[in-house]
Amino acid sequence: MPRSPALVCCLLAALAALAASQADSEAVIPPWAEFKLTRQGAEGTVKIGCILPFSGDNAVKGNAARNGIIMAINAIAAEDKFGLPKLSFELSCKDTVCNANNSAAAAAELKKAGVVAVIGDVCSSASLAAKDALAPILLMSPSSTSDKLTIAGDNFLRTVAPDRFQSRILAVLVRGNTTTIKKAIPVVLVYEANSYGQGLADGFAVAYKNLTGRIRFNRTVTPTNAKSIATELANSTATRVVIATNNNTWVAEFLAAGAANPTFRPAIFAGDAQLNPDLPSLVAGLDGSPALLSKLQATAYNQGTGTFRAKYKAFTNDSYTGHAAHAFDALNALMIGYAMNSEFVLPKAISLQSAIKANIKAGVSGNIKFDATGDLIPDNTAYQSIRYVGGKVVLGPFLPLPPAK
Ligand SMILES: *[C@@H]1O[C@H](CO)[C@@H](O)[C@H](O)[C@H]1NC(C)=O
Ligand SMILES: *[C@@H]1O[C@H](CO)[C@@H](O)[C@H](O)[C@H]1NC(C)=O
Ligand SMILES: *[C@@H]1O[C@H](CO)[C@@H](O)[C@H](O)[C@H]1NC(C)=O
Ligand SMILES: *[C@@H]1O[C@H](CO)[C@@H](O)[C@H](O)[C@H]1NC(C)=O
Ligand SMILES: *[C@@H]1O[C@H](CO)[C@@H](O)[C@H](O)[C@H]1NC(C)=O
Ligand SMILES: *[C@@H]1O[C@H](CO)[C@@H](O)[C@H](O)[C@H]1NC(C)=O
Ligand SMILES: *[C@@H]1O[C@H](CO)[C@@H](O)[C@H](O)[C@H]1NC(C)=O
């Protein structure tokens, strides 16, 4: 329902759309700190924050997410979507490098600056730290998946499903097709004891055992043991290893060390953190043969519809869309929540109650629907598998979600 009191004549609307689309074509990606879309005759300005990694290992994801937010803002302005009145937008982004302290400090700054909501962070540990610094302003993450972020009534929402679902999907991927494979193969579980790795490993262990699988042994990732774990596995008779860490430098070292060892046999399974377009170059940079990458299969979140991927490519000339699609849907969900706030006075924060009700059927990253804690409710459009072929990410089929408990 449009909130703007003015009845807008078709011609004016057409002119406005034209002006907005001209603004779009000028909206080449500016230096990352600020993005402004100023519209003549706007009823107000929506200030949105973003806390993302624009440097370090996760920069590709942070940049993609920011581009996705900008695309969503441009699309809303072009069409005045969701019954929003004519608005200008200011997006203020801070580079957190996925570090918890940086992220919390950036969140506090944005709160002071009066943003209505913030999109971020990429890493769960950073989101965990930032949400409290930001409260009661909402934080919506396009990619933080730790189960520790499932907290009823807090100010955190996300457009990806939590690890407890991903770990079940990962177990299904590792277990294989039970029609053709009768016996589950014992696996070695290698995980990092942080929010991401521990959550994924614990969930995987439960789900894999539930699928009649067995954990042979597990190892914990430390900053210096990538090579020794690869060597230990090459020495063992293990045929499957599951990796749960979001440190791709570690994974690259592990893959390089494994490739250098002719007796390294296991197939490698991993979670969404290893869907990283930088991974091939990280491995190659270590003088390791990237050959082991072809043994890696990972679960991934919906990487965006074909239409979105094409639009993203046209906008950025970049082909990595995963975080862009989830951030695009996050901005839309927040703006739906913004439009739903009962008293529409600018500027104001978006309320948890209205954001939770935001419902996007067939968003660019799948169906968006939140549960009472602000978590995405996943369905069979939530996950797909990926592989690396010739150093490039190849998207696999959607992975069906096993039945809930
Ligand atoms: C955050 O800051 C605290 C206190 O200075 C420090 O102990 C901790 O290691 C820092 N954490 C990160 C992830 O940098
Ligand atoms: C499992 O294998 C059977 C027999 O080859 C096939 O019909 C079925 O589609 C497979 N299921 C999945 C989920 O791949
Ligand atoms: C790893 O192994 C230890 C010892 O068997 C066990 O206590 C722990 O729960 C295991 N961790 C996971 C994530 O399976
Ligand atoms: C692997 O096996 C070699 C040769 O048997 C041995 O020297 C080495 O210590 C083993 N390394 C590990 C990590 O088990
Ligand atoms: C990631 O792994 C690399 C290599 O194993 C290590 O040097 C680095 O300290 C790790 N980073 C973190 C944040 O643990
Ligand atoms: C887009 O990317 C391709 C390949 O990465 C490159 O050859 C081309 O010059 C780029 N175009 C623009 C406009 O940046
Ligand atoms: C365990 O398996 C049953 C069906 O065999 C399923 O309903 C349940 O959700 C599974 N639990 C987990 C944690 O995967």
Residue 92 bridge partners (DSSP): 34, 49
Instruction: Check residue 383 and give its pLDDT.
Output: 94
| Ligand 2 closest atom vs CA 180 | 2
Instruction: Check residue 325 and give its pLDDT.
Output: 98
Position 172: which residue type?
V
Residues 23, 141 within the same domain: yes
- Any idea of the CA torsion for 236, 238, 242, 248, to the nearest 10 degrees? 40
The answer to whether residue 123 is domain-embedded is: yes
Residues 168, 239 within the same domain: yes
Instruction: Check residue 32 and give its pLDDT.
Output: 53
| Alpha carbon of 165 to ligand 7 centroid (Å) | 11
CATH number of the domain within which 187 lies = 3.40.50.2300
- Helix or strand or coil: residue 104? helix
| Ligand 5 closest atom vs CA 226 | 5
Range of the domain at 236: 164-300+384-398
Q: What is the pLDDT of residues 49-97, one digit of tens each?
A: 999 999 988 898 999 999 999 999 999 999 989 988 899 999 999 999 9
Instruction: Check residue 110 and give its pLDDT.
Output: 95
Measured distance CA(222)–CA(209) in Å, rounded: 25
Rounded to 5°, angle at Cα 389 from 173 and 180: 30
Please report which ligand is nearest the Cα atom of 318.
6
| Residue ranges in the chain whose pLDDT is less than 70 | 1-33, 288, 342-347, 403-405
List CB contacts of 151: < 8 A, sequence separation 6 or more. Answer: 373
Contact 324, 344 (CB under 8 A): no
Q: What is the pLDDT of residues 306-316, one digit of tens each?
A: 999 999 999 99
Measured distance CA(255)–CA(237) in Å, rounded: 17
Q: What residues are in contact with ligand 3 under a 6 Å CB criterion?
A: 189, 191, 201-202, 205, 215, 218
Residue 156 bridge partners (DSSP): 139
Residues 277, 341 within the same domain: no
Instruction: Check residue 395 and give its pLDDT.
Output: 92
Residues 88, 220 within the same domain: no
Residues 390, 269 within the same domain: yes
Residues 79, 102 within the same domain: yes
pTM of the model: 0.78
Contact 303, 384 (CB under 8 A): yes
Instruction: Check residue 375 and give its pLDDT.
Output: 98
Choose the residue to mutate in 163, 200, 218 for probing ligand 3, maximizing ligand atoms within 8 Å of C-beta.
218
The answer to whether residue 69 is domain-embedded is: yes
| Ligand 3 closest atom vs CA 191 | 13
Quote the distance between the C-alpha of residue 232 and its chain's center.
32
